[in-house]
DNA sequence: CGACCCTTTGAAAGGAATCAACTTATGTGG
DNA sequence: CCACATAAGTTGATTCCTTTCAAAGGGTCG
């Protein structure tokens, strides 16, 4: 068995596990997914691999690493719109919205599996059930955006940071990427500022508050949560918005 | 012909016109839509008719008026996540995300047409094409949320307000609800503040800047745009994010 | 060791929120 | 038709939070 098809199977497994978490897949669904050809690519850190204005002909399944979706103002400031972790398909929307209105780029070293739109659309044509699941996937993304609008507009800097950490914990945990109380987290404070609409200085000071309150430790690419209850309390964090295990 | 079926036809027309703007409908698509039974309801101003936590069994098509989607913080502050105008289906997502994570309420007097999920799902089962169009509809919503995340995080108060006015103009214009340079707009300054994450005082002062620069007039429920070019310039407004006429 | 990247710190400036009137419209009932 | 109530818009003064600017500290890797 060639290395390529090994990786194909890896990608299929990841996708199946992800979709399975939303709804049970039928044998036919699985069969359809295993007919997909993936093109697995390693991407170095800090690299935009999808650009604003691009017309996409394929989607990417994130197998390993963290990627961000971002946009820039005229003056060159970056706003990160979403953070994606393994199992996510950050540009699933490009199936029906070909023209990209944002960038997608790696934070850490990433492994990404590309599937041609044609193949995805063929599979979806044959399975209304898979269509519903993937549609739902994009709706959950949208629910996340809505939650971010509220978070960034209504919470103070420390609450905002706490909320982001809660969100990251839940999502990493849902795909089995946590151990004990923590998880590997490759973003810098500056990047988190670009997620939350805060300056790096504010992120730093808010983090110091959470740290001195013994709620969270964030050190050398790793976040550990010391007191989930109180962290979620400060963040006004309601995990249901993630629509994880309905 | 009874009043009810008159209104049914009105609702069908609005929905067909809206979907037609996204992609040409086949005769079969139209036929399917005309098989939908709508329940047309008049809703008084300032009334939430969908609540957080509700489990929806129907979607609503907005026929007339303005509705908002909003959420509250623990301390009771409201954040408006989106503003909807006639032709929109604000809770289309509830087809696949039954549990509402936000409120939907009227701003002005509204007319809303409810369709049972069952009926929508039956239609979608019979038409992959309509499925794709409605999916795309929800993806455009998501693109709007992303744009709002950037706007609210990166633009100053006056730019933000200008951006919002540009967005509203484009959307009202796309459904034929503008005349000359303006459109009827029933929100208060306080509500606009809840959209933009600004206090009412900031909205007021930003509006005064736009007014004294002779870019916009907003008076007694009506917005008129005096200088679109410069307004869009200030707002850093790029209409492509609305994915209106691709 | 030194270069680089990231984090941390302090001080000052700025923008928006808040607070507290006051004004202007709109609408109601006597 | 006017007195009054109510909702929305406007204004000024003050406070507070976050940004900005500038520089120092710390870890990592060649």
Same domain, A114 and A159: no
Asked whether residue B146 is domain-assigned, the answer is: no
- pLDDT of B246 strictly over 80: no
Name the residue facing A142 among B71, B77, B138 (closest C-beta). Answer: B138
* Token output for A121: 């659309």
Confidence (pTM): 0.95
Question: Which pLDDT does position B21 carry in this prediction?
Answer: 87
Q: Are A231 and A163 in contact (CB under 8 A)?
A: no
Helix, strand, coil in percent for chain B, rounding step 5: 50, 20, 30
B154 touches strand D (CB under 7 A): no
Cβ pair B149:A148 closer than 8 A = yes
User: Which CATH number belongs to the domain containing residue A203 in this structure?
Assistant: 1.10.10.10
Tell me the β-bridge partners of A55: A99
Token pair 């008076």 is at which residue? B219
Whether chain A has a CB inside 8 Å of the CB on B152: the answer is yes
Same domain, A124 and A17: yes
Residue A233 buriedness (CB in 10 A; 0-12 / 13-18 / 19+): middle
- The full DSSP string for A185-227 is ----HHHHHHHHT--HHHHHHHHHHHHHTTSEEEETTEEEES-
End-to-end CA distance of chain A: 38
Same domain, B164 and B210: yes
Candidates B78, B129, B139, partner chain A, best to mutate (most A CBs within 10 A): B139
Same domain, B112 and B10: yes
Q: Which residue of A has its CA nearest to B103?
A: A146
> Please, which pLDDT band fits residue A141 given cuts at 50, 70 and 90?
very high
Boundary-marking domain end, from B111, B129, B147: B129
**CA dihedral (A220, A221, A227, A231) positive or negative:** positive
> What is the average per-residue pLDDT within A209-235?
97
DSSP annotation of B97 reads -
A190 touches strand C (CB under 7 A): yes
Question: Which pLDDT does position A184 carry in this prediction?
Answer: 97
- pLDDT of B9 strictly over 80: no
Asked whether residue B101 is domain-assigned, the answer is: yes
In strand D, which positions have an atom below 7 A from any protein CB? Answer: 7-13, 17-22, 27-28
Q: How do residues B99-157 score in pLDDT, each as one tens digit?
A: 999 999 999 999 999 999 999 999 999 999 999 999 999 999 999 999 999 999 999 99
Asked whether residue B193 is domain-assigned, the answer is: yes
Question: Which pLDDT does position A64 carry in this prediction?
Answer: 97
Instruction: Please give the residue range of the domain that contains residue B42.
Output: 6-129
User: How many angstroms is C1' of C29 away from CA of B219?
Assistant: 28
* Token output for B237: 């407004």
Asked whether residue B149 is domain-assigned, the answer is: no
Boundary-marking domain end, from B79, B111, B129: B129
Residues B104, B51: Cα–Cα separation, whole Å: 7
Half-sphere exposure of A185 (CA within 13 A, CB side): 29
Name the residue facing A142 among B99, B142, B243 (closest C-beta). Answer: B142
Q: Are B21 and B140 in contact (CB under 8 A)?
A: no
**Nearest nucleotide from residue B199 CA, by C1' atom:** C17
Cβ pair B139:A138 closer than 8 A = yes
Please work out, in degrees rounded to the nearest 5, the angle formed at the alpha carbon of residue A118 by the alpha carbons of A43 and A82.
45
**Structural domain total, chain B:** 2
- pLDDT of B3 strictly over 70: no
Question: Which pLDDT does position A29 carry in this prediction?
Answer: 95
Cβ pair B79:A241 closer than 8 A = no
Question: Which pLDDT does position A7 carry in this prediction?
Answer: 67
> What is the average per-residue pLDDT within A26-44?
95
Whether chain B has a CB inside 8 Å of the CB on A156: the answer is no
Same domain, B125 and B159: no
Same domain, B49 and B112: yes
Q: How many CB pairs under 8 A join A and B?
A: 122
Question: Which pLDDT does position A110 carry in this prediction?
Answer: 97
Name the residue facing B96 among A136, A146, A149 (closest C-beta). Answer: A136
Asked whether residue B40 is domain-assigned, the answer is: yes
Residues A144, B120: Cα–Cα separation, whole Å: 25
- pLDDT of B6 strictly over 80: no
Share above pLDDT 70 across residues of chain B, in percent, rounded to a whole number: 96
Cβ pair A101:B146 closer than 8 A = yes
Cβ pair B131:A131 closer than 8 A = yes
Number of neighbouring beta carbons within 10 Å of residue B46? 11
Question: Which pLDDT does position B1 carry in this prediction?
Answer: 38
Same domain, B111 and B182: no
> Please, which pLDDT band fits residue A2 given cuts at 50, 70 and 90?
very low
Q: Which residue of B has its CA nearest to A136?
A: B96
- pLDDT of B27 strictly over 60: yes
B201 touches strand C (CB under 7 A): yes
Same domain, B13 and B99: yes
**Distance (Å) of CA A25 to CA A45, A131, B58, B206:** 34, 12, 26, 52
* Residue A116 distance to chain B (closest CA, Å): 17
User: How many angstroms is C1' of C1 away from CA of A108?
Assistant: 28
Q: Are B226 and B216 in contact (CB under 8 A)?
A: yes
Candidates A144, A145, A147, A203, partner chain B, best to mutate (most B CBs within 10 A): A145
A197 touches strand D (CB under 7 A): yes
Number of neighbouring beta carbons within 10 Å of residue B107? 20
Residues B131, B129: Cα–Cα separation, whole Å: 5
Question: Which pLDDT does position A243 carry in this prediction?
Answer: 87
Strands (E), A9-75: 39-43, 48-50, 58-64, 67-72
Tell me the β-bridge partners of B225: B216
Number of neighbouring beta carbons within 10 Å of residue B232? 20
Strands (E), B155-201: 182-184
Q: Of B116, B15, B6, which Cα lies nearest the Cα of B61?
A: B15
Asked whether residue A1 is domain-assigned, the answer is: no
Residues B145, B133: Cα–Cα separation, whole Å: 19
Torsion of CA A147, A151, A153, A158, to 10 degrees: -170
Side by side, the strands of the sheet bearing B216-219 are B182-184, B222-225, B216-219
Same domain, A37 and A97: yes
Asked whether residue A231 is domain-assigned, the answer is: yes
Per-chain mean pLDDT for chain A: 94
Residue B138, SS3 per DSSP: helix
Candidates A94, A96, A148, partner chain B, best to mutate (most B CBs within 10 A): A96
Q: Are A187 and A221 in contact (CB under 8 A)?
A: no
Residue A176, SS3 per DSSP: coil
**Nearest nucleotide from residue B46 CA, by C1' atom:** D7
Whether chain B has a CB inside 8 Å of the CB on A81: the answer is yes
- Alpha carbon B153 to its chain centroid, in Å, reads 21
> What is the average per-residue pLDDT within B195-201?
98
* Token output for A130: 């898979």
Asked whether residue B144 is domain-assigned, the answer is: no
Q: What is the 3-state secondary structure (H, E, C) of B107-137?
A: CCCEEEEEEEHHHHHHHHHHCHHHHHHHHHH
Share above pLDDT 70 across residues of chain A, in percent, rounded to a whole number: 96
In strand C, which positions have an atom below 7 A from any protein CB? Answer: 5-11, 15-20, 25-26
Tell me the β-bridge partners of A116: A58
Boundary-marking domain end, from B129, B164, B192: B129
User: Which CATH number belongs to the domain containing residue B26 in this structure?
Assistant: 2.60.120.10
Cβ pair B96:A147 closer than 8 A = no
> What is the average per-residue pLDDT within A183-191?
98
Q: How do residues A65-76 score in pLDDT, each as one tens digit?
A: 999 999 999 999
Q: How do residues B58-105 score in pLDDT, each as one tens digit?
A: 999 999 999 999 999 999 999 999 999 999 999 999 999 999 999 999
Give the pairing of strands A103-106 and A48-50. antiparallel
Whether chain B has a CB inside 8 Å of the CB on A73: the answer is yes
């Amino acid at each position: 068995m060639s290395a390529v098809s090994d990786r194909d199977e890896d990608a299929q497994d990841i996708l199946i596990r992800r979709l399975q978490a939303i709804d049970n897949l039928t044998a036919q669904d699985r069969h359809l997914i295993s007919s997909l050809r993936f093109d697995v690519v390693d991407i170095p850190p800090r690299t935009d691999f999808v650009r604003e204005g691009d017309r996409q002909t394929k989607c990417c399944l994130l197998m390993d690493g963290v990627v961000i979706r971002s946009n820039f103002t005229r003056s060159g400031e970056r706003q990160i719109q979403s953070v994606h972790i393994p199992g996510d398909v950050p540009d699933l929307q490009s199936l029906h919205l070909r023209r990209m209105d944002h960038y997608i780029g790696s934070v850490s070293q990433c492994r990404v599996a590309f599937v041609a739109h044609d193949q995805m659309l063929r599979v979806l044509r044959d399975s209304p059930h898979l269509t519903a699941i993937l549609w739902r996937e994009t709706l959950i993304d949208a629910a996340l955006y809505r939650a971010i609008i509220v978070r960034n507009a209504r919470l103070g800097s420390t609450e905002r940071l706490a909320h982001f950490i809660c969100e990251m914990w839940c999502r990493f945990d849902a795909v089995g990427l946590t151990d004990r109380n923590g998880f590997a987290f490759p973003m810098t404070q500056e990047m988190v500022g670009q997620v939350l609409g805060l300056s790096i200085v504010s992120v730093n000071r808010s983090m110091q508050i959470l740290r001195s309150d013994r709620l969270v430790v964030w050190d050398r690419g790793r976040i550990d949560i010391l007191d989930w209850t109180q962290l979620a309390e400060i963040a006004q964090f309601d995990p249901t918005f993630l629509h994880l295990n309905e």
